[in-house]
Chain A
Amino acid sequence: KNQVEQSPQSLIILEGKNCTLQCNYTVSPFSNLRWYKQDTGRGPVSLTIMTFSENTKSNGRYTATLDADTKQSSLHITASQLSDSASYICVVSGGGYNKLIFGAGTRLAVHP
């Protein structure tokens, strides 16, 4: 069964601290893996997209990694800011129909 699992479900950190969000997937065949940021009441916004051959990709203070062998990805946020408070969703494209398979998301709260 094609699934994307994220951990933790929620996370609270202090402003300025770093954090890492995890994503495990069982999607086959695999096309690419994306991380999205979704602010409350808004649509998701793309942070990174990685294909099978890409191990790491950065977008400002966001760095995503991908281990296609273990089917794991992580999103590292450096020097967190209050505006980083949002849900972060791991999405895998594949499963034979190039559909997007969504994780449940990690709700991050950055406190001053």
Chain B
Amino acid sequence: GAVVSQHPSRVICKSGTSVKIECRSLDFQATTMFWYRQFPKQSLMLMATSNEGSKATYEQGVEKDKFLINHASLTLSTLTVTSAHPEDSSFYICSARDGREEYFGPGTRLTVT
């Protein structure tokens, strides 16, 4: 099946710094990718829809200036958490849609100290 990768798998950063997470579709092109956040023992919550060549669409309550999304190519979307705070610590997961199937990345564990 299709593979979606994320990098890094884990990152620890200091409060106030910015962190970039990459999401790549390895064997298919994805005009649309999705970014989710997952807190412990909870299900995935959609943050934003990343559209290749255009602006991302953010879900209600998600600050677009804090979570910058760039979808510069058909195989790469990036999520930058700007001015990170401890409450941004979470598990971030991306996905890419190939037809009706949606493939999820392995996730990135972000810890802000």
Contacts and interface: CB of A to CB of B under 8 A. Distances in A.
Interface residues of A, number: 20
A42 B42 contact: no
Contacts, number: 42
Interface size on B, as a range, is 20 to 34
B44 interface: yes
Nearest to A101: B46
B69 to A, nearest CB: 16
Contacts of A14: none
A57 B106 CA distance: 25
B42 A41 contact: no
B42 A46 contact: no
B43 A103 contact: yes
A44 B101 contact: no
A67 B105 CA distance: 30
Contacts of A93: 100
> Would you call the interface of chain A mostly helix, strand, loop, or mixed?
strand
B91 A49 contact: no
B105 A105 contact: no
B93 A105 contact: no
Contacts of B42: 104
A46 B1 CA distance: 10
B102 interface: yes
B85 interface: no
9 contacts: A41-B107, A42-B106, A43-B93, A44-B93, A45-B104, A46-B1, A102-B44, A103-B43, A104-B42
